[in-house]
Amino acid sequence: MKKFYVAALLLLSISSSFSQTDKKDYSEAFKLVEVWLDAQKDFDNLPSLTAIVIEDQDVLWSGAFGLSYVEKQIKAEPSTRCSICSISKLFTSVAVMKLYDEGKLRLDDKVSDLLPAYKVEQQYPESGPITVRTLLTHSSGLPREAAYPYWTGPDFPFPTKAQIDSKLSEQETLYPASTYFQYSNLGFTLLGEIVEERSGMPYDEYVEQNILIPLGLTNTQTTLPEQLYGNELAVGYSAISRQGKREQVNFFQANGITPAAGFSSNVLDLGKFASWQFRLRDTTVTEILKPSTLKYMQNIHWINPKWGTTWAWGLGFIISKGTNGNTWVGHNGICPGYKTTLNIDLDSKRAYSVMINANGVNPEKYVNGIDGIIKNVSKAQPATDKATQKKLSEFVGYYSPLPWSSEVYISTWNGKLVSLGLPSEKPGSAMTFYKHIQGDTFRRIRDNKELGETLTFIRDTNGTITKYKSHGNYAQKLER
């Protein structure tokens, strides 16, 4: 028994040692992420950007850059809320599938059988039925929008549920069901009405009681909280005009379009929402949904018949394949003054959310950039002693290669130096690594691990680094 006890302790010690040494150190990667995002915020003329990186149940990093309210100089925080617009559809999809789990509806139920108010004219007699499934996959053939101009500024007159229902009889299908992809906010609005009909509860109340509260999403609401506007809720701004300016966009509420586009949240809550999905996929225990139901939602249910797209639809989820073959799921959102995204890599169990309080921008660019940078963290982390770290830190900073490009940032990376030109559309592939040779001299590490050209840092008479020399030319160090 004593031998068994000693062996067990030894095994536990070895296991603990492996868990500590195997854990990746992302600190230098996220330092570079912060430098890159801060620069992109300025070069892309963004009011603010908030972001988070999740690994399974852990927050690896979150950050905020810029101003959530430009006119009052209020700084953005990771807790800053935005309209998440069409990411709302994921919550509506979960609500529908919870009712499916409970046997209160079937995916092949006809919408006309579930909603008394449904009176959209089917102009294709040969069409198959418009069902819950076709609404979830945007293959119903319904028009994109309800019969109101609610995406038109400056006031964005979103209709009420009663107004939407009153004009359904004036609308008609665009295509036969299950024939073409046609994104439809009207379809998801009707799904919200189905949630009400089948649950016997108002949509807002059902989502809050059955999804938001159980998941602890205290900063997520089915509306934009007007009392927080300009403080905890960011002010939205337009796309850039020809004069290079962004105008403040009027406050709005999605009203009857809420199930498709009405929610507000922050990156912290969407991180929790992603962690719930990882958690549910790894268990056999029901948490809001059955695990099998979430996996079913995140399988492909509809793909463009021409096969020319790199993405497809699950039940509410957009599904795509990453450059490394991993399966990604999630959704993006665009509403007046806001663009947001939630991207979940099912294979790596890593998720990203980015929120920007402006239009005319692409949040996925920043997700891809963050993902690209942290993918450069090597699997084997060689130890770097403190003396070497201190020595390398002398070279860290911004350098000016003007007029050829805007800036270069040099940072430490796993016992080496790394340079990144700013701005950069694809920072992960734009990183250049250097090995320390001696003194202030480094050499580029080529893709095949051989050493390339020399990078030499120059000091003034006081020993302060003032510039670097590469290919016989100089870049001055910037004061920041």
What pLDDT was estimated at residue 183?
97
CB neighbour list of residue 125: distance below 8 Å, 6 or more residues apart = none
Q: How far lies 174's CA from each of 111, 120, 180, in Å? A: 16, 11, 10
Phi-psi region of 414 (alpha: psi -120 to 50; beta: other; left: phi over 0): left
How do 441-445 and 350-356 pair as beta strands?
Answer: unpaired
Q: How far lies 295's CA from each of 110, 232, 299, 317, 457, in Å? A: 23, 34, 6, 11, 53
What pLDDT was estimated at residue 322?
86
What pLDDT was estimated at residue 304?
77
Q: Which residues pair with 433 in a beta bridge?
A: 418
Q: Indicate the pLDDT class of residue 307, thresholds 50, 70 and 90.
A: low
- Cα separation, 227 vs 13, in Å, equals 53
- Cα separation, 457 vs 466, in Å, equals 8
Alpha carbon 197 to its chain's center = 32
Q: Calculate the average pLDDT of the chain.
A: 93
Q: How far lies 298's CA from each of 301, 330, 347, 443, in Å? A: 9, 9, 12, 46
Burial of 328 (0-12, 13-18, 19+ CB in 10 A): buried
CATH number for region 379-477: 2.40.128
Query: pLDDT tens across 394-443, in order?
Result: 999 999 999 999 999 999 999 999 999 999 999 999 999 999 999 999 99
Q: pTM higher than 0.85, yes or no?
A: yes
- Across the range 89-112, mean pLDDT stands at 98
Tell the CATH topology of 48-374: Beta-lactamase (3.40.710)
Closest CA to 323 of 367, 360, 278, 362: 367
- Across the range 455-460, mean pLDDT stands at 98
Q: How far lies 396's CA from each of 58, 391, 403, 436, 479, in Å? A: 29, 10, 21, 14, 12
DSSP 299-364: S--B--TT---SEEE-SS-EEEE-TTS-EEEEEEEEETTEEEEEEEETTTTEEEEEEESBSS--HH
Structural domain boundaries in the chain: 48-374, 379-477
